[in-house]
Amino acid sequence: MKKDTEVNMMHGAGGEVMGELLQTLTAFKNNNAGGIGLESLDDGSTFTIGGKTTVLTTDSHVVKPIFFPGGDIGRVAVSGTINDLAVMGARPIALTCAMVIEEGFPITDLEKIVASMDEALGEVGAAVITGDTKVVEKGSLDGIVINTAGVGVIEEEGFLIRDKNLSVGDKIIVSGTLGDHGLAIVSFREGFDLGDQLKSDVAPLWTMIEAAMKAAGTNNIHAMKDPTRGGFAACINEMARKAGVKVVVSEEKVPIRESVASAGSLLGIDPLQVANEGKCVMGVAPEAADRVLAALKNHPYGKNAAIIGEVIEGSGVVMQTRIGGERFIEPPLGDPVPRVC
C-alpha cells in the first residue's frame, strides 16, 4: 500500500489508518516520566507524586454539530477525559480546559457549553482548575475546538488497570448498548430527528467504574478501555492484539438498541464501528464477572450491561452469529462517522 504523504480525515478516525499516523506523532525519545508512557498508547500515562500513582490524559474535541440529541461538545470534552482516567482505575481530580473559538461564535452557546461541562464535572466530583482561550478569524475554524487534560489518582494499590492485560478465561463485559453516540450524531447531522429513540450516551463514568472495581476486588478487572473512535470493533481488537489473545463474542448477547441498529442499516454503518462516549469494555476474571455485572447494572449508566464473550488462546476477534456461523470483527480502517468526539 502506498504511504500517504499528507494527512487526511481517515488519519483522525481511530482505525488502522490512524495507527500509521501515530507512528509519526509518537516518535518522541523523551516519552516516559517513570511509569506508563507515550510508548504504551494506553488511555493515559502515569507518574508518581508523593508515593501516589498519578494518571494523566489529554483530548481535543471537534464535534459537529456542537449540540446534538443527548449532549453537546462540552459534555463530550469532560466525559471523554474523565473516562480515559476512569478506565485506568484513577479517580478524576482536576481538568484543564483550552478553547479555540471562531470569531462570531454565539456567546449564549458558549454559556450553554460551559454549563454542560460543569454539570458533568459535578457528577464525579472533579473540577476544571486552569485553562486557555484563543479566538481565530471567522472562516478559519468550524465554530469551536475544546482541549481537556485530566489528572487522577490510583487510590488503592492493585487498582491500576491497563488495556493490554486480557487473560485467557476472562469474561468480556460491556457496560451498555453500543453505537448510540456515533449513530445519534450522524443521524441528526443527516436530518433524521428520532427524538428520544436515538440519542448520545455521553456520560462521565467514574462512579460506575468505581462501583465495579469495588465489587470485583483487587486485580480482578484485568483490562479496561472506553470504545470511542473506531467503536467497539477498534477497542476490542486493540485489547486482544496487545494481550496476544483471541476474543470470542456472541452476537446474541451484544446489546444494541433497535433504533441504533435501524439507523445503522439505513445509513450503511456498523454500530460496532462507531464511537461511544458513555460505555466501557472490561476483561474480568471469571470468578468476579457476575459481581461486576451486578454492580454495573445497579448504576444508571450501566443498566444495560452484559457479559458478551470470553478470552481464549489464539488471536483476533470472532463473533458467533445468531444463525450459528462465525465472522471476524475487523478493526475499521477509520471511523465511518467523523467529527463525533
What integer pLDDT is reported at residue 11 of this predicted model?
A: 45
Which of 271, 287, 281 has the alpha carbon at shortest distance from 306? 281
The Cα 341–Cα 339 span in angstroms is: 6
- What pLDDT does 289 receive? 98
Residues forming beta bridges with residue 72, ordered by sequence position: 67
- Nearest to residue 307, comparing CAs of 295, 322, 325? 295
Angle 68-74-76 from CA coordinates, rounded to 5°? 70
Decide: 144 and 97 in contact? Cβ < 8 Å: no
Q: What is the spatial distance between Cα 144 and Cα 102, in angstroms, rounded to a whole number?
A: 6
Q: What is the pLDDT of residue 18?
A: 55
Second CATH level (architecture) for the domain 9-153 = 2-Layer Sandwich (3.30)
Closest CA to 66 of 263, 338, 340: 340
Residue 282: the pLDDT is 98
Task: Confirm if 46 and 27 have CB atoms less than 8 A apart.
Answer: no
Among residues 275, 264, 340, which one has the least CA distance to residue 65?
340
Any idea how long the chain is?
341
Distance separating alpha carbons of residues 75 and 64, to the nearest angstrom = 13
Query: Which string of b and e fits 1-19 if b means at least 16 CB within 10 Å?
Result: eeeeeeeeebbbbbbbbbb
Per-chain mean pLDDT for the chain: 91
The per-residue pLDDT for 322 is: 93
Residue ranges, the chain, pLDDT below 50 = 1, 11
Question: CATH homologous superfamily of domain 171-328?
Answer: PurM-like C-terminal domain (3.90.650.10)
What residue type is assigned to position 148 of the chain? T
CA distance 55 to 36: 9
Q: How many CB atoms neighbour CB 268 within 10 A?
A: 7
Q: What strands, in cross-sheet order, belong to the sheet with 326-328? A: 221-225, 281-284, 171-174, 306-312, 246-250, 316-320, 326-328
Q: Which pTM value belongs to this model? A: 0.91
Strands (DSSP E) contained in the chain are 45-49, 52-61, 67-68, 71-72, 91-102, 127-136, 144-153, 171-174, 221-225, 246-250, 281-284, 306-312, 316-320, 326-328
HEC states along 245-296? CEEEEEHHHCCCCHHHHHHHHHHCCCHHHCCCCCCCEEEECHHHHHHHHHHH
The per-residue DSSP string of 170-208 comes to PEEEESS-SSHHHHHHHHHHTT---GGGS-------HHH
Q: Which of 326, 337, 335 is nearest to 234 (CA)?
A: 335
Rounded Cα distance, 78 and 83, in Å: 9
Calpha distance 301→295 (Å, rounded): 11
Residue 2 DSSP one-character state = P
Cell of residue 90, nine digits: 484513577
Domain segments of the chain as ranges:
9-153, 171-328
Question: What is d(CA 189, CA 67) in angstroms, rounded to the nearest whole number?
Answer: 10
